[in-house]
Structure 1
Amino acid sequence: MTLKQQLLQICNERVDKRINDYKEEIALIKESIESNDKGDSEDDDSGNGKLLNDLEKNLEHLNDAQKTKIYLQNIRTSINSNDVVLGSLVKTNLMNFYISTSIGKIDLEGESYYAISLNSPIGQLLRNKLVNDQFEFNQSKYIIKEII
């Protein structure tokens, strides 16, 4: 398995975990709402209001995670491009970036990679850059050493 395939697999695993976590949280909230509805207290409405709010937030997060999962399916690990595009692995003088989705730091084979979205601030700076191109981010100067 290539390095880009491994990174994509880790991104997919992390998104799958998010999806499962949101589904579990939604199930717990629904269970709590149902048990509150069975209670005979008249003051339970305020508790259900918060639970319904939490349910709505978790449903939104689940929807976003499911969209991310679909987005990851657009990444082709075999792509070879001279410029930075979706699916590129970008090695700079300071950090390594995997252009995919905003997952964060991935440690693999003794190196750190940052899975970022093209829509993120640094992703926007990297978009369409070539080897030896430079850019500044957070007062640090990056030089692109390699694009895989």
Structure 2
Amino acid sequence: MTSIDPSYYLSNQNQSREVNNSLGKDEFLKILMTQLQNQDPLNPMEDKEFISQMTTFSSLEQMMNMSKSIDTLVQNQTVSPVIQYSHLIGKEVSYYRIDEETGEVAEPKEIATSEVKAISQNGGYAVIELDNDTKIYTDEVLRINDPSAE
């Protein structure tokens, strides 16, 4: 029995082809133009049918634009909270003082102010680290002040 060298029939094996299963607006326009060019001149496409296809095209384009906008929004939302709030470093923030025993806002409510020295992350939320060794979440900030602007 004679053996066949596999390099003869496997030489193109590593080449792959990507298949795009989605139709975009360019493909839709090409199909529509081909349909218009190849229609029967004695029995042309009715106006209602043409308007319907143009409406479909317009809807497709709007959905694609909305999809891009949603993708951009999602991408912006996935920015690290540390980066998102890093502009607060060096700023002065005011917040309600927290009772260390209960972890709740101290009664009577007392506003404390301190300079932001760092931003960290805990459980997906940004934590503001202050000069007075206090750590607060961003939703606890009442006021942001730039001491260098005064």
Shorter-chain TM band: 0.3 to 0.5
Question: 1 or 2 for the larger relative contact order (CA 8 Å, sep ≥6)?
Answer: 1
Greater gyration radius: 2
Richer in helix (by share):
1
What is the TM-score of this pair, normalised by structure 2? 0.33
